[in-house]
Amino acid sequence: MKLTSFETIDSHLLFGLLNTALRNDFDDLEDLSKFHDLDQERLLQKLREAGYHYRADLNQFRPTASR
C-alpha cells in the first residue's frame, strides 16, 4: 500500500501500517517520512486526531492515554 496517500487511509488502519513499517523497515519516523516523501506534520496531525501519538523511544505509534 502506498503511504503517499495516507490522508485517504482510515486512521486506525494507518496506525497499524505505520507501526509495521517502522518495526520492519525504518529506524525512525523521519526515515519513513523521507522514504515515502510524506509531510510528517500532517501525518502526525491525522494520527493525533484519531487518538495516537508517536513514541520515538519505542519507534512506534501508541494510543494516547485517556485524560
**Structure confidence at residue 65 (pLDDT):** 83
pLDDT in tens, 2-53: 798 999 999 999 999 999 999 999 999 999 999 999 999 999 999 999 999 9
Indicate the domain borders of the chain: 3-61
Task: Count CB atoms within 10 A of the CB of residue 41.
Answer: 9
**Strand stretches in 1-67, DSSP E:** 52-55, 60-63
**Structure confidence at residue 1 (pLDDT):** 66
**Structure confidence at residue 67 (pLDDT):** 46
